[in-house]
C-alpha cells in the first residue's frame, strides 16, 4: 500500500489542519488536490515527520510514519515547493552535498550529482552558482536533489508552480517519463488539475483537512447519458433552435461543439431526425465524459 491513513489528525494549535483523514490508496502515481488551505502541504509534512501527528495512524510504503520515521525518510526523495539551496556554490557541488547528506560516499555523491543534473537537463549549467540560475532552472535543481539518492518514493510539492507554459510542459514531460520508466512511486501535490490528470493514476482530494474524494481517476470519470456533444455541418443556429423547441438546453463550446442537455422523454435519435429534416450532417456525436475538473468542482460544491 502506498498510502494508508486512519483517522489522521494534525493540529496547528487548536486548529485541525487534517481532521480524521482515512484513506487507503495503492498507486504508482498519486495526485494530491485541493484548494489553498485544504491540508495538502500538511499531509506531506506529516509523512516527512516535519509536523507531529496528534491522532490516528499514517503508513507510507508499508512503514508506520510515527514509529519508523527514519526508515520512511530514507525511502523518500522530496522536492519542496519553495526555494531551498545554498548560495555561493555551483549546482553540482550542491547536489554532491545533498547526496552525502543522504548517506552516499563523496565520490559516489559527485558521480550521481553529474548524472541527475544531466538527466533533468542541467548538464550545461551544472558549474554555475545557484543564485545565478533562473527560477525555472532552480525548479529543476529541486527535482534533481530529490533524485540524488535513488529514492523508492518521490514527493513532489507543486513541481510546476511559477513556471512559464514551455517550462511547465517540460517539467510535466519529465515527471511522466519518470513515472513510466522508473521503479519509484510518486506523490504529486498541485492545485493545477491538468498536472494531476496527465501524470497521476489516482487522486486524493482534500478540503478543510478532510477527504472529499479519492480513488482511480479513470474510474471516477463517468459518462453522462443526459449530456451529449455534437458537431455538425450546416446551419448551427437553426439546428440548436429546433432542439430548444423539443425542450433541450443547448450551448456552443469553444471548440464549435454543440453541448446538448436532453429534456425528459427526448432520446438521442431525435438529434438525427432533426438533422435529416434540416439537411444537416452530424459529423461527431458522443456522450459527454466527466473530466477531473468536473469531478473536482462537483465534490467541492457538494461539501460546501
Distance CA 73, CA 204 (A): 21
174 pLDDT tier (thresholds 50, 70, 90): very high
Q: How would residue 299 be classed by pLDDT, with cut points 50, 70 and 90?
A: low
Residues in the chain: 304
Could you give the maximum distance between any two Cα atoms of the chain, in Å?
A: 78
Whether 29 maps to a domain, the answer reads yes
Whether residues 44 and 95 share a domain: the answer is yes
Residues 282 and 144 in one domain: no
Contact between 188 and 30 (Cβ < 8 Å):
yes
Global confidence as pTM: 0.78
pLDDT band with cut points at 50, 70 and 90 for residue 225: low
pLDDT over threshold 60, residue 186: yes
46-98 pLDDT, tens digit per residue, is: 999 999 999 999 999 999 999 999 999 999 999 998 877 788 899 999 999 99
- What mean pLDDT comes out for the span 256-271? 84
Q: Which of 190, 219, 248 is the last residue of a domain?
A: 219
Is 293 among the domain residues?
Answer: no
Q: What is the mean pLDDT of residues 273-292?
A: 85
pLDDT at 185 over 60: yes
- Whether 213 and 231 map to the same domain: the answer is no
Q: Return the pLDDT at 297.
A: 72
Residues 240, 111 share a domain: no
Answer yes or no: do 234 and 209 share one domain.
Answer: no
> What is the residue range of 249's domain?
222-288
Total tally of structural domains belonging to the chain: 2
Query: Are residues 17 and 142 located together in one domain of the fold?
Result: yes
Same domain, yes or no, for 134 and 68?
A: yes
CATH of the domain at 266: 3.30.70.100
When the pLDDT of each residue in the chain is averaged and rounded to a whole number, the result is 90
Amino acid at each position: 500500500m502506498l498510502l494508508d491513513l486512519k483517522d489522521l489528525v494534525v493540529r496547528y494549535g487548536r486548529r485541525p489542519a487534517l481532521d480524521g483523514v482515512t484513506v487507503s490508496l495503492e498507486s504508482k502515481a498519486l495526485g494530491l488536490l485541493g484548494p489553498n488551505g485544504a491540508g495538502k502541504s500538511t499531509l506531506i509534512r506529516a509523512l516527512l515527520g516535519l509536523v507531529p501527528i496528534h491522532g490516528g495512524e499514517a503508513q507510507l510504503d508499508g512503514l508506520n510514519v510515527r514509529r519508523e520515521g527514519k526508515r520512511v525518510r530514507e525511502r523518500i526523495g522530496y522536492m519542496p515547493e519553495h526555494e531551498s539551496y545554498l548560495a555561493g556554490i555551483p549546482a553540482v557541488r550542491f547536489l554532491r552535498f545533498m547526496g552525502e547528506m543522504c548517506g552516499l560516499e563523496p565520490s559516489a555523491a559527485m558521480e550521481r550529482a553529474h548524472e541527475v543534473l544531466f538527466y533533468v537537463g542541467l548538464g550545461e549549467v551544472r558549474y554555475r552558482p545557484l543564485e545565478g540560475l533562473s527560477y525555472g532552472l532552480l525548479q529543476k535543481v529541486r527535482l534533481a536533489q530529490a533524485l540524488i539518492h535513488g529514492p523508492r518514493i518521490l514527493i513532489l510539492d507543486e513541481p510546476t508552480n511559477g513556471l512559464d507554459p514551455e517550462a511547465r510542459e517540460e517539467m510535466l514531460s519529465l515527471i511522466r517519463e519518470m513515472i513510466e520508466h522508473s521503479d519509484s512511486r510518486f506523490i504529486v501535490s498541485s492545485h493545477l488539475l491538468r498536472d494531476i490528470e496527465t501524470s497521476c493514476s489516482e487522486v486524493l482530494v482534500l478540503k478543510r483537512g478532510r477527504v472529499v474524494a479519492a480513488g482511480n481517476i479513470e474510474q471516477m470519470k463517468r459518462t453522462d447519458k443526459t449530456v451529449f456533444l455534437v458537431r455538425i455541418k450546416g446551419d448551427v443556429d437553426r439546428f440548436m433552435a429546433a432542439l430548444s423547441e423539443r425542450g433541450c438546453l443547448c450551448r456552443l463550446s469553444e471548440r464549435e461543439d454543440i453541448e446538448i442537455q436532453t429534456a425528459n422523454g427526448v432520446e438521442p435519435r431525435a438529434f438525427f431526425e432533426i438533422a435529416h429534416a434540416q439537411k444537416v450532417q452530424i459529423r461527431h456525436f458522443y456522450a459527454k465524459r466527466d473530466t477531473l475538473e468536473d469531478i473536482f468542482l462537483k465534490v467541492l460544491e457538494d461539501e460546501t
